[in-house]
């Protein structure tokens, strides 16, 4: 099959480095990272059809291998980033156009806040690692090496599902570190070449109208621009079941899925109200500010930082007798300071738990009109046998309580209070929550 070329644009700072995380030369766009993002969204899509019970997971894994390969199985989807492309990388020694390091009180501090302690330094109003700059562009080439024995409809299904996985990664996800906080955004701006299940224009990342009319994060709503997408899932699923002599079959589990799935009951979304933001950085500034307020719910007039607020958990769990820690829904570990932290533990090993809540600026191709899309994948919070532990000076202090329903309720609380943008001299009022 001939190559299809896609032009992509980076929409928000993208952190993707190699072994040397501080090296400008080691920072860029990599095929393995893109493939990993595509696999994530393939599972989110196909999991809505296979189910996430034990048998459904086996079917899902087999379908994923048919598209992306696995041990001893070559990938049907071949990706290539042509050499010689000039992708602009910003070093840690350069000024960042969206941050004002000379004023610690500048609103741009909330972008640094969203970067987290690994990438951002709030005290210095700085960024710790190089990144690919917004508006950088690059080409991605894709082609398919199908199995000779596969009938045309199966080949079409494999091609379609790989393309949808890439489209989802660009429309809802991202690439690299901190994608759940709005970084690493990508946009497909042009597609050239034939042999795809849909017209090239259909694969372009949508504009603001698409998100404003989106009524939910189930696959049927998300993939409405792609007629026949569900038939491709059915075809590949049926072929994998046939190849296994009936050994694989769909199955659901009791309760929420263990990983993100594009399913109505297990997702929630909210779009910012009022006027659109004029740029991605304005959206993330407001998101960071609101996230801090959502985390630190208690006003503390005597605090020596801005805003003067403390988390309920700091006052009542760390320094009190309470054990409920629903703040964990926004990600673990939580590091209060160099002496106090909270993390998940299983079999003596610490586990990171990703935030249930995703934040993403979405908008028009030029990036001059955007809204903040908040998404929640309402999954099982902890694997069986894991627990949440408070530590003081590295030593266990006490176990904390975070059930899946409690974590889901905390994630939904964010959706119940959508952000409203009011430009200088303007007013907002639109509401869009699902």
Within a domain: 256? no
pLDDT at residue 433 tops 70? no
Beta-carbon contacts of residue 129 (< 8 Å; ≥ 6 apart): 15, 17, 21, 22, 27, 92, 119
Residue 272 sits at the vertex; the CA angle it makes with 269 and 277, to the nearest 5 degrees, is 140
Helices (H) and strands (E) in the chain, counts: 10, 21
User: pLDDT tens digits, residue range 235-293?
Assistant: 999 999 999 988 888 998 889 999 999 999 999 999 999 999 999 999 999 999 999 99
Contacts of 35 (CB under 8 A, 6+ apart): 68, 75, 77, 79
Residue 271, C-beta contacts closer than 8 angstroms, at least 6 positions apart: 211, 212, 214, 371, 372, 373, 374, 418, 432, 433
Residue 255 falls inside a structural domain? no
pLDDT band at 307 (very low <50, low <70, confident <90, very high): confident
Residue 191 lies in a domain: yes
228 plus 328 within the same structural domain: no
Last residue of a domain, one of 175, 208, 243: 243
| Domain shared by 231 and 336, yes or no | no
β-strand partners of 114: none
Residue 207, domain extent? 4-92+129-243
Using one digit for the tens of pLDDT, what is the confidence trace for 308-332? Answer: 899 999 999 999 999 999 999 999 9
Residue 52 belongs to a domain: yes
As a whole number of angstroms, the distance between CA 297 and CA 310 comes to: 6
Classify residue 158: in a domain, yes or no: yes
Q: What does the block give as tokens for 240?
A: 């994998």
Summarize the confidence of residues 63-85 as an average pLDDT. 94
Q: Are 222 and 282 part of one and the same domain?
A: no
Say yes or no: 167 and 82 in one domain. Answer: yes
* Amino acid 315: pLDDT: 95
Query: Which pTM value belongs to this model?
Result: 0.94
Judge whether 108 lies within some domain.
no
342 and 412 inside one domain: yes
Average pLDDT, the chain: 93
Residues 70 and 181 in one domain: yes
pLDDT of residue 429: 46
| 89, containing H or E segment | strand 89-90
Query: In this structure, are residues 299 and 308 in contact, taking their beta carbons and an 8 Å threshold?
Result: yes
My answer on whether 74 and 215 are in the same domain is yes
Q: Are residues 369 and 268 in the same domain?
A: yes
Do 300 and 362 fall into the same domain? yes
What are the Cα distances from residue 68, in Å, to 45, 56, 76, 77, 172? 14, 18, 6, 6, 20
**Together in a domain, 271 and 233:** no
Instruction: Classify 73 as helix, strand or coil.
Output: strand
Residue 103, domain member (yes or no) = no
Pairing of the two strands 420-421 and 273-274? parallel
**Residue 249 placed within a domain:** no
- Find the Cα–Cα–Cα–Cα dihedral 155, 161, 166, 168, rounded to 10°: 160
In this model, does residue 385 exceed pLDDT 70? yes
Same domain, yes or no, for 59 and 137?
A: yes
> Does one domain contain both 427 and 307?
yes
* Cα distance between the two ends of the chain: 41
- If one counts the domains in the chain, the total is 2
Residue 412 to residue 405: CA distance in whole angstroms: 10
């Amino acid at each position: 099959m001939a190559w299809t070329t896609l032009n992509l644009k980076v929409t928000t700072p993208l952190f993707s480095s190699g072994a040397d995380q501080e090296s400008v030369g080691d920072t860029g766009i990599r095929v393995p990272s893109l493939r990993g993002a595509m696999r994530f969204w393939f599972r989110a899509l196909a999991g809505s059809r296979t189910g996430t019970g034990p048998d459904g997971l086996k079917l899902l894994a087999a379908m994923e291998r048919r598209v992306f390969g696995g041990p001893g199985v070559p990938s049907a989807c071949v990706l290539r980033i042509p050499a010689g492309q000039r992708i602009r990388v910003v070093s840690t020694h350069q000024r960042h156009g969206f941050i004002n390091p000379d004023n610690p009180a500048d609103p741009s501090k909330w972008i640094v806040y969203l970067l987290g302690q690994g990438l951002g330094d709030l005290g210095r109003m700085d960024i710790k690692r190089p990144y690919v700059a917004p508006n950088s562009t690059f080409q991605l080439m894709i082609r398919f090496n199908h199995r000779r024995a596969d009938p045309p409809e199966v080949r079409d299904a494999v091609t379609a599902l790989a393309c949808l996985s890439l489209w989802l990664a660009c429309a809802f996800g991202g690439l690299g570190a901190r994608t759940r906080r709005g970084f690493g955004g990508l946009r497909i701006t042009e597609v050239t070449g034939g042999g795809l299940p849909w017209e090239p224009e259909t694969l372009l990342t949508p504009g603001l109208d698409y998100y404003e009319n989106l009524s939910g994060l189930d696959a049927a709503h998300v993939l409405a621009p792609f007629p026949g997408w569900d038939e491709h899932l059915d075809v590949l699923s049926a072929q994998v079941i046939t190849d296994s002599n009936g050994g694989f079959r769909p199955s659901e589990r009791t309760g929420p899925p263990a990983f993100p799935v594009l399913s109505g009951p297990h997702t929630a979304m909210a779009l910012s109200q009022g006027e659109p933001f004029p740029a991605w950085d304005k959206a993330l500034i407001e998101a960071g500010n609101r996230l801090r307020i959502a985390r630190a719910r208690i006003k503390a007039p005597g605090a020596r930082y801005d805003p003067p607020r403390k988390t309920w958990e700091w006052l009542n769990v760390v320094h009190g007798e309470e054990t409920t820690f629903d703040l964990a829904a926004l990600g673990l570990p939580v590091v209060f300071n160099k002496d106090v932290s909270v993390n998940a533990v299983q079999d003596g090993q610490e586990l990171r738990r990703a935030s249930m809540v995703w934040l993403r600026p979405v908008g028009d191709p030029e990036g001059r009109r955007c809204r903040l899309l908040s998404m929640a994948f309402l999954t099982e919070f902890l694997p069986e046998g894991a627990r949440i532990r408070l530590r003081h000076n590295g030593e266990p202090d006490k176990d904390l309580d975070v059930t899946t329903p409690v974590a889901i309720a905390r994630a939904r609380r964010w959706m119940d209070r959508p952000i409203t943008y009011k430009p200088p001299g303007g007013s907002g009022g639109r509401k869009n929550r699902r």
